[in-house]
Structure 1
Amino acid sequence: MPEDYEVGLDLEVFSVGRASAYIRSRHENPAGYAGLVQTVKADDYRGTRLQVTAMVKARDVVGWAGVWMRVDDAHDHTLAFDNMQNPERRIAGSVGWRRYSIALDIPENAAYISFGAVMERTGQIWLDDVRVNVVDDSVPVTDITSRFPRHPVNLDFENGTY
């Protein structure tokens, strides 16, 4: 809910330059999540691997935060996505300025690329020095959809739930 979070510009806390953007929960029980987003046309990036990097600082994040990117086709179907939500990559707790990165392949049928930062639950993050660059194949793709199994697994729950 928009009233549960504040998003703004911080002229006192930043990594480089003179300002950073922030997301902050307004109370102890916010619903949903809040994000910073910019969307660009995919025309100049089709057929490339695109990396988004950003400096992020976190204070008392309960839940998670991350840098994110989504690639959509002209019909708003998601073609590639990463938001750092998985436990090994998410930002939580309090962390000083650190550079985080994600990388996605941009298919030929891509129409739009959205990217930014996201935070769920309580705390505050700052985002600064965002960079969007075409990279070569030596940079691994972080697309969470590429990790989905090709076929259903564990349908009898013998291996627990996940």
Structure 2
Amino acid sequence: MKESDKLKGWTLSGTNSELYTIELDSNVVHTGTRSGLLYSKEEANEQHFGTMMQGFQAKIYKGKRIKLSCYLKTEDAYKSGAWLRIDSSSGDTIQFDNMYKRPIEGTTDWNQYSIVLDVPKESESIYFGVLLYGKGKVWADGFRFEEVSEKVPTTNMLTSEILPKEPINLDFSEE
């Protein structure tokens, strides 16, 4: 199954990347002749995660809404998913979704997953990939970026809807 330890354009990262491996797989594919495989080593547990990722300049997408779609397949995955992050020139994350509230768990066949984010004018870079929490395997194939209209809702996890309108319990008197 192992063809190469190097995947052109892709890097292994995460809080515990040493507990994960990425490689090409020519046996388990959805489109084309190869897929990317991210899998855990035995020592990995639910507190760890690894990601197969890449980044690029945001220039061509500034001021647009984009949809990242890909096909993922899992085997005994604790939690997995695609992710997309938009960063400003100062390195601050300004848009983000890692499918945390809609994770892929266990063993699944190939399915298409999508993330939709706005790329504000102050964007500098775009990072994306697939992540795996804990043990298991996840195959990725057929990543695609496309511009979508404002009618397509975003999946941004950093929206103001999840934040209170004002600070609360500043003196810690409330239980």
What corresponds to 2:22 in structure 1?
A: 7
Q: Which residue of 2 aligns with 1:132?
A: 145
Tell me the CA shift for residue 142 of structure 1.
0.1
CA contact (8 A) 2:77 2:107 kept: yes
Deviation at 1:152, TM superposition (A): 5.6
**Displacement, 1:32?**
2.0
Deviation sequence 1:93-119 (CA, Å, 0-9, x none):
111000000000000000001111111
Segment drifting more, 138-147 vs 67-76: 138-147
Local SS of the residue matching 1:111: strand
Question: Secondary structure of 2:154's partner?
Answer: coil
- 2:19–2:43 Cα contact (<8 Å) kept: no
Q: Which consecutive unaligned segments of at least 5 residues does structure 2 have?
A: 1-15
2:165 is aligned with 1:151: yes
SS in 2 for 1:59: strand
Equivalence for 2:53: 37
Instruction: State whether structure 2 residue 112 is matched by structure 1 residue 102.
Output: no
In structure 1, C-alpha distance between the alignment counterparts of 2:100 and 2:153, rounded to whole Å: 17
Question: 1:28: Cα distance to partner?
Answer: 4.9
- Note if contact 2:17-2:51 (Cα within 8 Å) is conserved in structure 1: no
- Which residue matches 1:160? none
Where does residue 31 of structure 2 map in the other structure? Answer: 16
Separation (CA, whole Å) in 2 of partners of 1:154 and 1:95: 42
Residue number among 60, 64, 72 corresponding to 2:76 in the alignment: 60
The share of aligned pairs that are identical, in percent, is 30
What is the SS of the residue equivalent to 2:63?
coil
Normalising by structure 1, what TM-score?
0.89
Give, in whole Å, the separation in 1 of the partners of 2:57 and 2:63: 13
TM-score scaled to structure 2, two decimals? 0.82
- Report the secondary structure of 2:158's partner residue: helix
Number of residue-to-residue matches in the alignment: 154
Alpha-carbon distance between aligned partners in 2 of 1:129 and 1:8, rounded to the nearest angstrom: 16
Corresponding residue of 2:84: 69
